[in-house]
Amino acid sequence: MKSIKSLFALVATVALLWTSTSIALAQGAGSDQPTPIARGPHISGVVQVMAHRPPAAGAAATSSAVGCTVPGGGNVKTDCASTGRPVNETWVATNGSLLVAGANDYNSYNGQGQDGFYWSTDGATWNDAGPLDVFPHNNNNGAGDPGLAVDASGVVYYSSLFFNFYRCNVGGVELLRRDPATGSWSSYQIAADSSAQFQDKPAIALDETTGHVYVSWTQFGSCSGSGVTSPIKVAVLPTGSSSVSPSQILPVPGSTYSQGSSIQPDGQGGFWIAWEEYPSASATTGSIQLAHWTGTGWAVLSGANAWETISPLSFTDLPSPLPGFAFRDNSFPALAVANGNPEVAWTAYNSGSGPGRAYLWSSGSATMLSNSGGDQFFPAIAPDGSGGVFVSYSQVNAGQGTYDQWLWHGASPTKVSTAPSNPSQDAFFSGQFIGDYNGMTLLSGQAQPIWTDIRSADPTYPGWEMDSMTVPGTTGGTTSTVPSAPTLQASAGDSQVTLTWSVPFDGGSPITGYNIYRATTSGGEGTTPYVTVDSSTTTYTDTGLTNGVPYYYEVTAVNTNGESAPSSEVSATPAAVTAPSAPQNLQARTARGHNARGVQLNWSAPASDGGAAITGYNVYRENGSTCDGNESQLTVLGNVTSYSDTATTSGASYCYDVTAVNAASLESLPSNQASAIAK
């Protein structure tokens, strides 16, 4: 531990050595234009005109401070050498023994935001290296949007923007690396800014098992970022202390008008990535998307698409600013991978109505975490090491003009900030900017959230000080308790009802079983279980029922602490099973795409499943386009609504129809017929 501290002290006692394989030095030359660039609303806040500060005298702040634990009382400031200028947009990472944090740090040589760097070995005592002085000097140059990772050998990886408020051809998206052997930083510019592009909002992920660092970012199609496409890219780089070029840069499927990517390794040589996708460049509400790179290609997640929309139709972006405040906000996702499974958090309105709430998407469904208090914003997420996740977020104290920081872990959330933040007291940005996100990591099984904090008077400047604040390892709501309620679904069959439910958070103690309650009137389930099943079961078929009678069900989860609250009540009415109705709207078209071949089929599910769930489809085909009813079975599919027929001859015509099959093995009449010419 002593060697780690002494090594990091080099940052505070020697000049930072900067080696660069980028073109940033060349970009530092030239003259700034007369006025700042007016950036589009989806561009990061650190780059916006309101984040530009008057030039400041003096050099970048560095410190040899050891034992910085202010303000104490449960919260600790990471920027403990701050001279009073703002610090915001926080991030934190760990390798299990060393914590590293970053922020937009305005305690810099020119007073603009630069890449702040802070470190700790326990989360309670922090050291402040000040803003990293790695980029060319100019009164209007800035850096920010930090993302950090640190590997087992102590190499720190820092993704960042470098930019100029007045010039288009300065900067780009950068990956900085700190060599633990020397304490020096190097940088590689992954993609450069120009009059035709602006690189924005990088995110970083480290996969030591494959030796990869992933940096995702948004590439706007102009300098201003207004009215243009903004696809997300991912650079794949090797680990290690040497700054080198990416081995590949991947376009993300389904990404056109995009922002706010979050990326994490999948543990199997690839990565998951989540982002917000807008329907147009000017849209203010989008949807949350998820994609999976396997290491060799993009996985098919939804139909034939290599991406999936995971936010519900009711998803509406938070208003920016929130009612009663001036600072900008967003509904960008935060992604974690727990036991190989993606877990995604975001904050949003529901069908355009507030207050803003934090949601967690897990195992295919999104759940609101807490429906109390004021607007929730800037979520962060981290795996808990046991298959679950921590979620942290800021929450407005309604009617008070302040916010606090909260931590959720499967139970009621816990407030972890020891004093509220009041953005209106910020004199530097007039309350308009506190960053665009916050971060969180896990150290020794405990959450380490970090956030922008504005709680007390600035010692040097008017107004209140803006800092990067954290809470030393906390379990928040992790005290062992009863499980969360399962999510229950019911489907009716002939004289039976089949129940399925999700595995809920276990409350910190393993689930031992589930209780099923049944009634023939709504709300009549009572307190005595109808049947109990063990913890390995998440489905139950209730047989011997009377057709035409509705049955009502609830399910609870049980652990050593007791029984969860019941699931939402569901009902189903058994009925004699018949064949499903025919699939609808069959369409056949020539395959599209450079490497595509054959015929592409798409259809819609039947209007009726006949009383038993659809389990699959049969595709029938005949040669020619006359569709005379002589189709023969081509293939048997699962429960999908598309198929690519590649067993074709280019230029030949084919006619198709499709039938549906339900769980009773009953087949529908054929769909409409459709024909196409094969590619």
Can you read off the two tokens belonging to residue 222? 């102009």
Residue 507 is predicted with a pLDDT of 58
Beta bridge partners of 581: none
Q: Are 571 and 550 in contact (CB under 8 A)?
A: yes
- For residue 423, the SS3 value is helix
Give the domain-ending residue among 543, 572, 601. 572
DSSP string covering 102-151: EEEE--SSSSS-EEEEEEESSSSSBEEEEE---S---TTEEEEEEEEEE-
Domain count, the chain: 3
How far is Cα of residue 607 from the mean position of the Cα atoms in its chain?
Answer: 35
Judging by DSSP bridges, how do beta strands 271-277 and 258-265 pair with one another? antiparallel
Can you read off the two tokens belonging to residue 463? 């107004």
To the question of pTM greater than 0.85 for the whole model, the response is no
Report yes or no on 339 lying in a domain: yes
Instruction: For CA atoms 399, 326, 476, 312, give the dihedral sign.
Output: positive
- Alpha carbons 264 and 271: distance in angstroms, whole number: 6
Report yes or no on 401 lying in a domain: yes
Task: Tell whether 561 and 591 lie within a shared domain.
Answer: no
Task: Tell whether 564 and 630 lie within a shared domain.
Answer: no
CATH number of residue 530's parent domain: 2.60.40.10
Task: Tell whether 442 and 510 lie within a shared domain.
Answer: no
Task: Tell whether 278 and 374 lie within a shared domain.
Answer: yes
Can you read off the two tokens belonging to residue 170? 């300065």
Residue 373 is predicted with a pLDDT of 92
Q: Which segments of 346-453 does DSSP mark as H helices, in order?
A: none
- Alpha carbons 434 and 186: distance in angstroms, whole number: 28
Task: Tell whether 567 and 588 lie within a shared domain.
Answer: no
Instruction: For CA atoms 549, 554, 558, 562, give the dihedral sign.
Output: negative
Residues spanned by the domain of 604: 584-677
Residue 7 is predicted with a pLDDT of 42
Task: Tell whether 251 and 204 lie within a shared domain.
Answer: yes
DSSP string covering 510-573: ---EEEEEEESSTT---SS-SEEEETT--EEEEESPPTT--EEEEEEEEETTEEPPPPPPEEE-
- Alpha carbons 164 and 162: distance in angstroms, whole number: 7
How far is Cα of residue 625 from the mean position of the Cα atoms in its chain?
Answer: 47
Give me the residues of the chain with pLDDT under 50, please.
1-7, 9-29, 58-66, 477-480
Residue 355 is predicted with a pLDDT of 95
Report phi then psi at 71, rounded to 5. Answer: -80, -5
Report yes or no on 478 lying in a domain: no
- Alpha carbons 328 and 326: distance in angstroms, whole number: 7
Residue 68 is predicted with a pLDDT of 75
Residue 24 is predicted with a pLDDT of 41
User: What is Dmax (Cα atoms) for the chain?
Assistant: 86
Can you read off the two tokens belonging to residue 419? 């004093």
